[in-house]
Amino acid sequence: MSKEMLSMRGIQKKFGNLEILKGIDLTVQEGDVLAIIGPSGSGKSTLLRCMNHLETIDHGQIKIIGETFADEKDNSGSVYVKPAVAKPLLAHMGMVFQHFNLFPHMTVLQNLIEAPVHVKKMNKAEAVELAEHLLEKVGLSDKRDSYPAKLSGGQQQRVAIARALAMQPDIMLFDEPTSALDPELTGEVLKTMRELALSHITMIIVTHEMNFAKEVASSVMFMAGGVVVEQGSPKEIFENPKQLRTQNFLNNML
């Protein structure tokens, strides 16, 4: 039986009076690749950021690998576990952002070993060995001593993926990882992500790349207006969407 990696129930989130998430439920099993699609402003990135506490939820429950991370308390709102409990739970997740977020004053190798050495207290030689292995995996071994400014956008994003993997997470979160890239650079990042999916790491991907979602995802979730309109296999969502809202979105995208 597969292991439940992430569970979210009744997730609500407001910014001021604006309700962004209106009661989202989702479950991700070990090895799943969940693609979250939908129009801009539908709450996709906010939902992703709620998974790893970059945003706090107002209501609902979050469990990470079966352990409670946030839970509803007397209908007065969600309460998070204490930082000492939260920290190891959050370590199960790695995040790749739209805009790379590499440290510009550090080489590629230094970017990769920084968190393993200082956060995980990994031996430096071990961290370097892991970093070199990951750079080989993303096809950038020859860039280990380069600075981010010397890399293309696609190369920077592949370094960002390797950096997230250096913390050896169980779940990888991707927030529109190709949206800041030129079309010709998008392919190299998607190729890296395809290879990752084949290694059976659990992945949750907010993306506008419909063909990629169709090919790589095990499950697709369509969001609009802060709710999950429809969820199913790529075949169900792309070839036989049940909801008119999904049909209209895909007609515009494909």
Taking only the tens place, the pLDDT of each residue in 182-241 is: 887 888 888 889 888 888 899 999 999 998 999 999 999 999 999 999 999 999 999 999
Q: What is the mean pLDDT of residues 100-105?
A: 90
What is the reported pLDDT for 186? 87
- Edge-to-edge strand list for the sheet holding 4-15: 18-29, 4-15, 59-64, 67-72, 78-80
Q: What is the mean pLDDT of residues 130-155?
A: 94
What is the reported pLDDT for 142? 95
pLDDT tier for residue 1 given thresholds of 50, 70 and 90: low
Give the Cα-Cα-Cα angle 178, 90, 112 (nearest 5 degrees): 55
What is the reported pLDDT for 228? 96
Q: What is the mean pLDDT of residues 84-90?
A: 93
Mean pLDDT of the chain: 93
Q: Long-range pairs for 150-155 at CB < 8 Å and ≥24 separation?
A: 151/108, 152/185, 153/100, 153/180, 153/181, 153/182, 153/185, 154/181, 154/185, 154/186, 154/188, 154/189, 155/188
Residue 174 has pLDDT above 70, yes or no: yes
Report the C-alpha gap between 75 and 34 in whole angstroms. 30
H/E run at residue 99: none
What is the reported pLDDT for 184? 79
3-state secondary structure of 130: helix
| Tokens at 145, concatenated | 């001593």
Nearest one of 231, 163, 203, 233 to 5, comparing CA atoms: 203
Q: What is the mean pLDDT of residues 85-99?
A: 92
pLDDT tens string 13-61:
999 999 999 999 999 999 999 999 999 999 999 999 999 999 999 999 9
What is the reported pLDDT for 179? 85
| Tokens at 132, concatenated | 């070199």
pLDDT tier for residue 116 given thresholds of 50, 70 and 90: very high
Residue 254 has pLDDT above 80, yes or no: no
**29: how many CB neighbours lie within 10 A of its CB?**
16
H/E run at residue 120: none
**103: how many CB neighbours lie within 10 A of its CB?**
12
Cβ-Cβ contacts under 8 Å for 96 (sequence gap 6 or more)? 157, 160, 161, 164, 172, 173, 174, 175, 177
3-state secondary structure of 127: helix
Report the C-alpha gap between 40 and 122 in whole angstroms. 39
Report the C-alpha gap between 117 and 105 in whole angstroms. 17
Task: Report whether 175 contacts 51 (CB < 8 A).
Answer: no
Report the C-alpha gap between 121 and 202 in whole angstroms. 24
